[in-house]
Amino acid sequence: MFPQHGPEAEAAAHPLLDACALLFLFRALARAQDEDQRIVFENQIIRLIADLVPCSGGAVILGETDADIPNDCVALPIYVRDKTGGLLAIWFPAEESPRLAAHRDVLAAVATLASAALENVRDVETLRTENQLLRERLDPGESGMVGGSPAMEKLLRMIARVAPQDTSVLVLGESGTGKELVARTLHRLSPRAARPLVAINCAALTETLLESELFGYEKGAFTGAAAQKKGKLEMAEGGTVFLDEIGELAPLLQAKLLRVLQQREFERVGGTRTLKLDVRIVAATNRDLAAEVRRGAFREDLYHRLNVLSLRVPPLRERPGDILPLARHFLVRAAARCRRRVDGISPEAERYLAAYAWPGNVRELENAIERAVVLGEANLLLPEDLPESILDAATVPPVPGALQTSIAQTKRDLILAAWRETGGDHNLAAAKLKLHPNSLRRLIRVLGLREILSA
């Protein structure tokens, strides 16, 4: 059989083109971000249907609906995964009543195309959600909890005992101590490890945004809600929700979260349907929640629900033995990210690190090491590579030994000579010494040359 040409082939091609166009338009309608776009796509769909059947108008309604359907129309459900995902309603003039059965067959085919399009959009949205969750779970920088101090060993033993349980956990500690890492370790060692871990920073979002982030929203719940969206609680189904900075949660949301913990159910913003929920809650705060309860800033019933088990992460000043192991751990990670070869930390730099109080805890230490790797030029991390705040605040005991004294004196002599030869031009002196100007500035500070050079 040879391929057809001429008017017969063109007539056969039109339905195929119409079907492709309808499939595209239904997808576009499901993804439309505002009402104007939705109206445009809906009108184009109705016009294409009018080319197939002699209709006088129609509507495409996505989502659940209780709209009244006139008697002079054919209304067909649009199914998505065996559930009603919308409605196709087409109006016909009175003279077409005898042929409604035939028209219904055509519209059934159109509704099937709509179902395929909506299922495709739903699949894409599901893949995006899964991708987002995988990105949250697969933190390339995370490689476990580091530290062998007695305080850390005690914490790790508690985590090992608590993780297999399914009760809520409250993680306490100062900012930067690693509370989120504790939460991730709890999840990784729990029976829920194969399901998502979803982290929410309660301090980073406004009350309205946090509510929609937590519970999701229905289409039309507020301006810009063009389609239904799942919340973080729903996305974490079967897994763990980590609520960071829980002490910042607004009173209204405290009440709603309490209901989730008590009844394990919630509604999306703008919705009326109650959804069941199976998640474990891990919360963290740097506040004294008991004190917040006493002054009326935090609900007592929610506090007790969260504080079934509590873990305290010790600040870095309480575990000084962990400073250098952590610094070396962060050095390896930072060097890999920056694609730099750094063989280790010099003894002088280690003394500064060990002598510093680290008010910003582990986070401050990690940032200091990364900054040193970025700015440093030698194969060892040197004191002049460290932030000035550490050099100024740390009380470092004098370095014993003639060799170290000789090295320091040689550095002073070279800097003083370059300073004289360049007439006190900082940038020229740095270039002569083959140093970055910032590195020279730090060396001048470390070696105590400021007053000499400014004289």
Per-residue confidence (pLDDT) for residue 128, from 0 to 100: 59
| Of 384, 368, 369, 362, nearest in space to 437 by CA | 384
Q: Which CATH architecture has domain 315-397?
A: Orthogonal Bundle (1.10)
* Kind of pairing between the strands at 240-244 and 197-201: parallel
Q: pLDDT for 406-432, tens place per residue?
A: 667 788 788 888 888 888 888 888 888
pLDDT grade, residue 286 (50/70/90)? Answer: very high
Tokens of 293: 């309860």
The pLDDT of 67-91, averaged and rounded, is: 78
Residue 404: the pLDDT is 57
User: For position 397, what pLDDT does the model report?
Assistant: 52
What pLDDT score does 370 carry?
93
Cα–Cα distance measured from residue 115 to residue 67, given in angstroms and rounded to the nearest whole number: 20
Q: Are 182 and 242 in contact (CB under 8 A)?
A: no
Determine the pLDDT at residue 433: 80
Band of pLDDT at residue 364, cut at 50, 70 and 90:
very high
pLDDT of residue 316: 92
C-alpha to C-alpha distance for 189 and 311, rounded to whole angstroms = 15
| Average pLDDT of span 188-195 | 89
* Neighbour tally for 119: CB within 10 Å: 16
Mean pLDDT of 57-80: 75
Under the banding of pLDDT at 50, 70 and 90, the label for residue 10 is: very low
Beta-bridge mates of residue 75? 89
- The lowest-confidence range among 123-127, 171-175, 255-259, 314-318 is 123-127
pLDDT in tens, 216-240: 888 777 766 667 788 888 888 899 9
Task: Round to whole Å and give the CA distance between 279 and 238.
Answer: 5
How far apart CA 400 and CA 407 sit, in angstroms, is 12
229-230 and 216-217 strand pairing: antiparallel
209-213, 324-328, 384-388, 407-411 — which one is most confidently predicted on average? 324-328
Cα distances (Å, whole numbers) of residue 229 to 111, 213, 241, 312: 23, 9, 18, 35
241 pLDDT above the threshold of 70: yes
Task: Inform me whether the pLDDT recorded for 155 exceeds 70.
Answer: yes
More confident residue, 35 or 353: 353
Percent of the chain with pLDDT over 70: 85
Question: Of 285 and 139, which is predicted with more confidence?
Answer: 285
Could you give the residue ranges of the DSSP H alpha helices within 138-205? 150-162, 179-188
CA atoms within 13 A on the CB side of 46: 18
DSSP symbol at 82: T
Higher-scoring residue by pLDDT: 102, 134: 102
* Beta-strand runs (E) in 37-152: 57-62, 73-80, 83-91
Indicate the average pLDDT of the chain. 81
In CATH, what class is 12-126?
Answer: alpha beta
Write the Ramachandran bin of 80: left for phi over 0, alpha for psi from -120 to 50, otherwise beta. beta
Q: How far is CA 438 from the centre of its chain?
A: 34
Closest by CA position to 442, among listed 380, 376, 368, 384: 384
What is the tens place of the pLDDT at every residue in 380-396? 898 888 888 888 775 55
**Looking at domain 139-314, which CATH architecture does it have?**
3-Layer(aba) Sandwich (3.40)
Report how far apart the first and last C-alpha atoms of the chain are (Å, whole number).
Answer: 101
